[in-house]
Each structure stands twice: as C-alpha cells, then as structure tokens.
Amino acid sequence: MPYTLPQLRLLILLAMTLLMGLGVREWRARYPDAADRLERFDREESAVPLEPDAPAPAPPSSASRRAAPPIATPAVSGLSPPGSAPTGTAPPPPAQPIDVNRADAAELARLPGVSSALAQRIVEERERRGRFDSPEALRYVLGMGPKKLAAIRPFVTVSD
Amino acid sequence: MTDRPRALEAAPLLPLAVAFAAGIAAAAWYENTPPRLLIAAGAMLLVAALLLSARRPRVALTMALAAIALCGALRTAPAPLPLDHLARRALDARVTLEARLDQEPVRWALDRTRLLVEVDALHLGPERLPASGRVQLTVYGEPTAPLGEGQRILVDARVYRPIGFRNPGGFDYPAHLRRDGILLVGNTRGDRVTALTPDLPPWRVAAKRWAVTVITTRLPETSGALLAGLLLGERTALPRESDEAFRRAGVYHILAVSGFNVALLAGAVFTGLALCGVPRRGTAVVAAAVLLAFAAVVGAQPSVLRATVMGLLLLAALLLDRESQLPNALALAALALLIWRPGDLWEPGFQLSFAATAGIVYLTPWLTRLLVDRGWPNWLAAATAVSLGAQAAVTPLMLLHFNQLSLVGIVANLAVVPLAGVATTLGMGALLVELASATVADLLFQALWLVLLALRAAVHVAAALPAAMVHLPAPGPATVTAWYVALLLAPLAAGSRRLRAVVGLLLVVVGVLSAWPWLRPTESMLRVTFLDIGQGDAALIELPEGPRLLVDGGPGGGRRFDVGERVLAPFLWNRPLGRLDAVALSHWDLDHSGGLAAVFTHFDVGEFWESGRPPPGPSDAVTALARSRTPRRVLTAGRRLWIGRALITVLGPGAGPPGAANDDSLVLRLDWRGVSLLLAGDLGSRGEAQLVERGGPLRTLALKVAHHGSRFSSTAPFLEATQPHLAVISVGARNPFGHPSPDALARLVSSGARVYRTDRDGAVILETDGRRLRVTTWATGAVEELDLVSGDTTAPE
C-alpha cells in the first residue's frame, strides 16, 4: 500500500469535504432563495432592508393594561408647522420657514441646495444630538458648509 | 497523590511572574517614586546575596522575590513625556496634525471610523512644528480616500483629553487609553482627512486584508463575518444580534484569536507535515515560523502573544528534546508580556486569557480524574473538565468586568468548541488552497458554510434558553480572593480532611458575600444619583426601604455607541436591583429616552411613567418598551402618588393643548422627611412660566436644572419660585449646544444655589437621612455635608 493509515484517513477526509462542498454549491445554485433564508435564520427582521414606505410597527394593544394611550399615535400633522406639508416635486424655496427640529427629510429637501441625502443626514444628526440649538448647529451635519448654511439661513427656524 | 508540588518545581518562572505581577498591582495603590524604588530593589538584592552566603537560602529567596516585585512596580512608573508631546500643549479647539496611522482604521459603526495615529508635526498657520504623541481619532462620515496602516495623513481635528463616563463602578476609559500610550483623543470628519502618501500597507496588513476579502467574497455575509472573527479576530462586520448571541451563550471567547487558534494552527501544520513524512525537527521549525507569521498578521493582543510565546516554548522543547512544562510556559508568557506592557495586567483581555489557561492547566487534570471516577466516558470527562476549568477561573473576572455570568456556557462550549475547531482548521486550509486554486478553495468554503451554519445554530439555541446569561453585581476583592484560594486548594484537598473543610468554608464565604447585597437590611436613606452619561439626563432615585425610580435613561440605542447599554445598564447591574419599581420619562428626545432601550431589555420594570405626549417616531426605546410589556401610566399636573414612603407630586405637563415637546416635559417633585427634589426635565422659559402660573409646591431643596442649563431655561421667576439650595446640571462635556450657558449658570448662582454639573463633577450623588445631606461628586471624590436642620455646610475630613 502506498499510504500509511493516517495518510489514507486524511485523504478520505479531504475527498469527503470536497464532495460535500460540491453538493452544497450545486444546491445553493439551484435554490438560491432557500440558501439565503438559511443564511439569515438567526437574523432579526430589521436586518432585511425596509420598503421605502413601510408603515411603522403597530403598537401592541393596551386594552388589557391600565388606562394608557397607545404610544405611537399619529402626531406628525399636529406638530409640523402649517404650510410645510410635503408637496410633490421639485421645490421652490418654502414660503414659510422650516423648523429644522421638527421637519422630516422630505420637507428639509425643499431647502435650496439641500439634496435628499443631505436632508436625511440632517435628520440623523438631529436624532443623534436630540435637537439643534441654533441654525449654526447645522454645521455639524456632514456636507453643510458655510455657504450652504448661508443660503438656507433665511428659510429655517429652530424651535427650542 | 497530587501534581502540584512537581508542577511547581518544574515551573521556576512561576514565582518570578507572580512577584512581578504583584509589584505592578501594588504600584496602583501608592505613589511610587522611581529613584527610591530603585534603591530599595538594589538594597534588597544585596541583602539577598549576603543572606545566601550566610546559608539562609529561604530568606534570601523571599528578599529576591520582593526585589522583583519592586522591579514590577518600577516598570509601571510612567516615562516622562517628551518635550514636544502634544499633551504638553494647550491646544486650540481645532488643530491641524501631520500623523502616521499606527493601525488599520476600525469601522465600528455605519459612519464612524476609529484611527490610531502617531503625530509627527503640528501645523500652526504656515508653521510646521515637530510634535509627538499618540492620538485616537474618531472620523465621522466617509473618509475621502481609503486609509490604511502606515499611511501618512494630514488631518484637521478637534483634539482633547479623554474623560469617559465617571460613575460608581464605571469603566475607567482614560486609564484604559493611557495604558496604550494614548493621552489625547479627537474627532474629525471624513473630508478633513487628507492622505499624504499612498496606501501601501506592510505585508502583514496586506495579508490580513487579502484573507478578509477572500472570506467575505466566498461566503455569505453573516457566515463570512463569523469566519473572519474565528480566524482573524475581525469582529467589526459581525451583526449585533450574532455578537449578542455569542455573549449570551458564553462562547464569545472563540471570536477572539487565542490559544485555541494558535494550538489548532500549530497542530494542523504539525500533523500535515508529519503525514507528508517531514522529520520532526523540520516540522517544529516550520510550525514555529507559521506561528510567528500568524501572530504578526492578527496583531499584538495579549491573548495572541500569550499563546504564541507558549506555543514557541513548547516547540522549542520539542526541538531540544526537553520535556515541556505548561505552567512554566504560561509563567514565561506572563513575565514577557508584563515586562513589555505592564499596564496590560489591568486589561480584561489579559486577565481572561491567562486565567482561562491557568484554569485549564491547573484544574483540568483533577477535574478529569474526578469525572472519570464517577464513571464518565474518558472523552466526555476530558472535554467537560476543560470547559469547567476555564469557566471556574474566568467567572469572577467576567462578573468584575462585564457583570455577566453565563449559565449555559459550560454546556454550550462542549458543542461550540469542536465546531469552531473544525471551522477554524478548514478555514485556514481553504485560505491556503486559495493561493493555488480558486476552484478547489471555493468547494472547501462551500463545505465550510455548512459547518458555520451548524455553529450558528448551536449558539442560537444556547442563547435562546431562558436565563442563558444573568447579570450580577461585580464581586468585591474578598469574594474574588476567597474563590481563587478555594480553586487553588481544591485539587489538593482530595487526601486531606482539613483542606476539604477549608475549601468548603471558603465556598460558603463566597456564597454569603455574593448574596450579601440581597441579604443586608435596607438602608433608611434616600439616595439620588445623577449619572454622568454625557449629554442627556438620567437619575436613579433609591428610596428608603428599597423602592427604586429611574428618571430618564440618557442617550443611547441605535447603532452607535450605546450609552444605555455601556454605562447605564452596568451601573444598574452593580446595584443589586431585582427590579426598578418605576421608570419615568420626561419626554421622548433621544438624550433622555435613548438609553431606556437597554433598561427595558435588561431590567424588570414595574411601571413606566410618561407625560402622554407621543414619541416623535419609532425608536429602539419605543420598540423595547412595547416588547417588555411594561404597564404604562400617564401623569399630568396635580397627580400625587406614593412610592414607598416618599410622595411624588406631578407638576407638569398641564392639561392644556400640547406645546413644544420640551415645555411639555413630565416634571416631578419628590418629598421625603422634609427633603425635596424637583426634576424639571427639559423645560424652556415657557414651560417654566406655565409651571409658576399653575402654582403647586415649587420651593425645593434640590433642583435638577431644566434642559442641561440652556440659556432659555432656569429663568429668574422660576428660580424665585423654587429657591433651590442645590442645583444639579446633567450635561455632557463639549456638547455642541453650548450647555450649560453662562447666563443660566449666573442666574442659578445669584439665586443662591450651589451648582453641580455632571460634565465636570462626574456622577453627582445626594444621600440624606432627612437630617443631613451628603453630596458626593464622583470625578473628584469630593464629599460635602449639609446640615438640613441648621443649614451649615461642612466638608468632612
């Protein structure tokens, strides 16, 4: 026999591994969806990218609890300043100043020179900091330079 | 009868390593002055030599060991800062630095990258001044060019001294950085980093990058991230929930590069070459070379260095035909590491690595024999003994550093470690094959995917068990010492009744000391802790006879540095809280509610108190609250409720239509034995005015100042109505809002209040029995006492 016993064992193990790999490859090529589901079996749902207009998760019924209102009631309409309702397409500068501590990304994107990506970053920065104390604090947003800030300055307010 | 005496004789380095470590540890307790220590050490050695010539070898040995301990203490003395060190300068808010990247950049959140740089020069206008110092920079956003180790950059950054979060039992972040030679930290934006040289990393970095790229292209994302952790300790791409599952299952150690990887690598090389007929000495040399290369690639963490030193020593023993001694190898590794970096003694990674190895080396033979005697099959007994030995040794350390006790760890390791072993070996083999043939390597990676899935499934099942991991307060030094002495004596106790009794007694001591926080009588004292959680609010109110109320949870949640998880939760774990009787939230701003996500996830909360104003949108705290099914109670002005013997009066918000979120903050007042505290949330001037208008009991002893000391809050009429003696401002250093404002501070001071602020004082702790009030500021350690009857202020001792 050309091989010792341990050598033979290793060879068989190697061949088995390669064969297994071949099998897995074929299976994954044939059922990519199943393979993808298997890969994500221990991931939380949130790891799946959300649909752009997915509704916020509904609050659990509080009927069985003490008298307390559900925590997520739609409140955006009550909080946004009038006239800042998101309109459809390409924006003329807003007629009324936009409150950067309240406005959502769509409203912020109507400001001159503010792209939707920048608007999104403004919202993220606001969430991180809690609020902007002054319009100057917008400088902390990535991509908000002094010129851009000067351009939008007339159109923004900051609520305390 | 036992292995110990023989083991000790065969480990001549063990006493040296222990003495050296003891010296380092002792140095933390006193101010050491190097010249004096040097003289003392020299004198001791001289005395030892004299004693030796006088034929008193035992005393001489003691003296010599004491001298070595002094050397350990000497080694911790910090070297004087170079004259051009950045930390010697008073730095402007923004500086321009020329620096070299000392490490690969670490991306630790979606838009956050950490750079460790070695500064060469400081640019002041047109001037270029030579400078030195290590600075850890956080880069917000995407750097304009890809960065890599060894690259020289020009960066425009804010540089400051690290402060961390200064709370009782909290992690000392500045000390941790200092041990790494980092005295300054800074932050900057991606577009303010300019590369001066191209990204041409050294070979080891290039090899690591290549390996990570291969792994992530050959395997789907989560499995790939897991393999990168197993093989290279690269955990940054691992999703948060997987990371958490490995912690809960008590198998997180396999994600760190450790002796496990080193042993597998050496073993694989050795077996492979031996099977190919290479002679033994040849294989040992090759294996040693592979180990060194591996250590260089994965980087100099304590666990890697320990394993590499030990591995090399064992291989050397093989080469020289000497019997290898594990305890001695371990001691040599400890000695070498501590001489090189004495501060590592305090690092959890160092302690866990050495404790686990020592536990395995020392306890496993005894445990195996114990289990085999009980009729366990040999293989199972050996595997369980390794798992048990390591767990027993690291348990106090895990509690001390992380408050974690994994209950399934011992069992989970039995399944996870073999799978991780197969995955690691196969992964290394596949990477090697990748160099030769991509097709064959792909097949190996496909097979590996199945192993990784099985590994993830095992971890997932273990982590999903109820009470897989419990959180307990950190044990005190007496408990830890008693536990380790018991472990040390346990293997020797088999033959001796007396020793067995001692071990039993020690275990009882450990049990009683661990349970003491729950057994001790409740204090008849009110304690309020305003936590240092950066920019935000969080206060824990501990009432006499036990009830606990948490008001706000500080910032946190989300994918960034989670203050709730890293600061608030450990603080609460370190108090033996069964539960929080109530959590009150002033309003939903993230600097108040963010950290509550961790609170609702980890703690049993009796009730959630809120103002009834809805949250602005979905957030982690909202989700965690809903998931925890905590009963909710909406409070409005005029409501009064008792919690224990203290009366809570709700002062805001009023019943009217909703206003600005800050002005609608939930405002609470607490009264107990004539001591009063008013928690003003984030009220602005309008909210304060409404509060005064509405009336109600406003005069208070202590005030949690509204809105972090904003200039729009703490208005004169409000302070006139409340007349606080103590005012606590919960505020983060260097916050972008300019809190606390000088105007508000001036108003507070002129109203006669003594002002405390968490950005300077760290946690502010008020303790009172109703007659005296004690204020402790944690960062400075200062204690002030106020006699509530006479009104005198004193500073004891």
Joined together, the tokens standing for residue B686 give 């309008």
Which residues of chain B have a CB within 8 Å of the CB of A26?
Answer: none
Give the distance from CA B21 to its chain's centroid.
21
Looking at residue A91, its pLDDT comes to 45
Looking at residue B214, its pLDDT comes to 95
Q: How far is CA A86 from CA A94, B478, B694, in A?
A: 10, 64, 37
* Percent of chain B clearing pLDDT 70 (strictly above): 97
Verify whether the Cβ–Cβ distance B239 to A43 is below 8 Å.
yes
Flag whether pLDDT at A64 surpasses 60. Answer: no
Flag whether pLDDT at B91 surpasses 80. Answer: no
Residue whose C-alpha is closest to residue B199's, from B148, B141, B139, B258: B148
Verify whether the Cβ–Cβ distance A18 to B456 is below 8 Å.
no
Q: What is the ipTM of this complex?
A: 0.74
Rounded distance, CA B531 to CA B759, Å? 10
Using pLDDT thresholds of 50, 70 and 90, give the confidence band for residue B558. Answer: low
Helix (H, G, I), strand (E, B) or coil at B600: helix
What are phi and psi for residue B775, nearest 5 degrees?
-115, 120
Residue B414 burial (C-beta neighbours within 10 Å; 0-12, 13-18, 19+): middle
Give mean pLDDT, residues B309-322: 87
**Worst-scoring range by mean pLDDT, B7-16, B136-145, B211-220, B254-263?**
B7-16
Interior CA angle at B12 toward B10 and B13, to 5°?
125
Give mean pLDDT, residues B421-432: 94
Flag whether pLDDT at A115 surpasses 90. Answer: no
**Worst-scoring range by mean pLDDT, A21-35, A56-70, B602-616, B721-735?**
A56-70
Flag whether pLDDT at B576 surpasses 90. Answer: no
Interior CA angle at B583 toward B163 and B402, to 5°?
45
Beta bridge partners of B727: B703, B755
Residue B568 burial (C-beta neighbours within 10 Å; 0-12, 13-18, 19+): buried
Flag whether pLDDT at A54 surpasses 50. Answer: no
Flag whether pLDDT at B309 surpasses 70. Answer: yes
Which residues of chain A have a CB within 8 Å of the CB of B430?
Answer: none
Rounded distance, CA B139 to CA A94, Å? 34
Flag whether pLDDT at B498 surpasses 80. Answer: yes
Joined together, the tokens standing for residue B412 give 């989970």
Rounded distance, CA B549 to CA B704, Å? 15
Q: What is the pLDDT of residues B24-79, one digit of tens each?
A: 888 887 766 677 777 888 888 888 888 888 888 888 888 888 888 888 888 888 77
Q: Is A146 touching B (CB cutoff 8 A)?
A: no
Computed on alpha carbons and rounded to an integer, the radius of gyration of chain A in Å comes to: 28
Verify whether the Cβ–Cβ distance B629 to A60 is below 8 Å.
yes
Using pLDDT thresholds of 50, 70 and 90, give the confidence band for residue B560. Answer: low
B312 and B294 in contact (C-beta within 8 Å)? Answer: no
**Worst-scoring range by mean pLDDT, A39-48, A87-96, A139-148, B722-731?**
A87-96
What are phi and psi for residue B103, nearest 5 degrees?
-150, 165
Which residues of chain B have a CB within 8 Å of the CB of A42?
Answer: 222, 241-242, 245, 456-457, 459-460
Nearest CA in chain A to B559: A128
B665 and B620 in contact (C-beta within 8 Å)? Answer: no
* Percent of chain B clearing pLDDT 90 (strictly above): 58
Which residues of chain B have a CB within 8 Å of the CB of A45?
Answer: none
Q: How many CB atoms lie within 10 A of CB B754?
A: 16
- Biggest alpha carbon distance in chain B? 93
Looking at residue B257, its pLDDT comes to 83
Using pLDDT thresholds of 50, 70 and 90, give the confidence band for residue B659. Answer: confident
Which residues of chain A have a CB within 8 Å of the CB of B221?
Answer: 39
Rounded distance, CA B552 to CA B549, Å? 10
Pairing verdict, β B605-610 and B632-634: parallel
* DSSP-assigned letter for residue A49: P
Rounded distance, CA B395 to CA B352, Å? 9
Looking at residue A139, its pLDDT comes to 76
Rounded distance, CA B523 to CA B546, Å? 8
Which residues of chain B have a CB within 8 Å of the CB of A25?
Answer: 442-443, 446
Looking at residue A45, its pLDDT comes to 56
Q: What is the pLDDT of residues B320-343, one digit of tens each?
A: 888 778 888 999 999 999 999 998
HSE-CB at B9 with a 13 A cutoff on CA atoms is 4
Looking at residue B31, its pLDDT comes to 66
Strand stretches in B387-512, DSSP E: 404-406, 469-471
Q: What is the pLDDT of residues B275-289, one digit of tens each?
A: 888 888 888 899 999
Residue whose C-alpha is closest to residue B598's, from B552, B547, B562: B562
Give the distance from CA B138 to its chain's centroid.
18
For B461, residues 6+ apart whose C-beta sits below 8 A from its C-beta are none
Verify whether the Cβ–Cβ distance A18 to B443 is below 8 Å.
yes
Verify whether the Cβ–Cβ distance A68 to B631 is below 8 Å.
yes
Looking at residue A69, its pLDDT comes to 39
Which residues of chain B have a CB within 8 Å of the CB of A100?
Answer: none
Looking at residue B582, its pLDDT comes to 95
B146-149 long-range contacts, CB within 8 A, separation 24+: B146/B199, B147/B101, B147/B105, B147/B113, B147/B115, B147/B193, B147/B195, B147/B199, B148/B101, B148/B104, B148/B105, B148/B199, B148/B200, B148/B201, B148/B205, B148/B209, B149/B101, B149/B102, B149/B103, B149/B104, B149/B201, B149/B202, B149/B205
Using pLDDT thresholds of 50, 70 and 90, give the confidence band for residue B21. Answer: very high
Q: How far is CA B331 from CA B5, B117, B354, B441, in A?
A: 16, 33, 9, 40
pTM given for the model: 0.83
Q: How far is CA A110 from CA A53, A83, A84, in A?
A: 19, 12, 10
Beta bridge partners of B767: B527, B774
Helix (H, G, I), strand (E, B) or coil at B649: strand
Looking at every residue in chain B, the average pLDDT score rounds to 89
Q: Is A140 touching B (CB cutoff 8 A)?
A: yes
**Worst-scoring range by mean pLDDT, A69-83, B330-344, B464-478?**
A69-83
Joined together, the tokens standing for residue B57 give 């070898």
Looking at residue B796, its pLDDT comes to 55
Give mean pLDDT, residues A22-34: 91
Interface test with A, best of B144, B238, B422, B446 (most A CBs within 10 A): B446
Beta bridge partners of B609: B584, B633
Looking at residue B494, its pLDDT comes to 78
Using pLDDT thresholds of 50, 70 and 90, give the confidence band for residue B9. Answer: low
Q: How far is CA B484 from CA B362, B394, B405, B506, B734, in A?
A: 12, 10, 17, 9, 43
Using pLDDT thresholds of 50, 70 and 90, give the confidence band for residue A47. Answer: very low
Q: Is A63 touching B (CB cutoff 8 A)?
A: no
Q: How many CB atoms lie within 10 A of CB B90?
A: 4
Give mean pLDDT, residues B741-752: 94
Nearest CA in chain A to B613: A71
Contact map slice: A 33-52 vs B, CB within 8 A: 35-36, 38-44, 47
Looking at every residue in chain A, the average pLDDT score rounds to 70
B633 and A66 in contact (C-beta within 8 Å)? Answer: yes
* DSSP-assigned letter for residue B495: G
Residue A55 burial (C-beta neighbours within 10 Å; 0-12, 13-18, 19+): exposed
Verify whether the Cβ–Cβ distance A72 to B590 is below 8 Å.
no
B677 and B698 in contact (C-beta within 8 Å)? Answer: no
Which residues of chain B have a CB within 8 Å of the CB of A159?
Answer: 660
Verify whether the Cβ–Cβ distance A129 to B632 is below 8 Å.
no
Rounded distance, CA A140 to CA A151, Å? 16
Q: Which amino acid is at B125?
A: G
Whether omega for the bond prior to residue B576 falls within 30 degrees of 0, making it cis, is no
CA distance A7 to chain B (A): 6
Give mean pLDDT, residues B194-216: 92
Listed ranges B526-530, B577-581, B769-773; the one with the highest mean pLDDT: B526-530
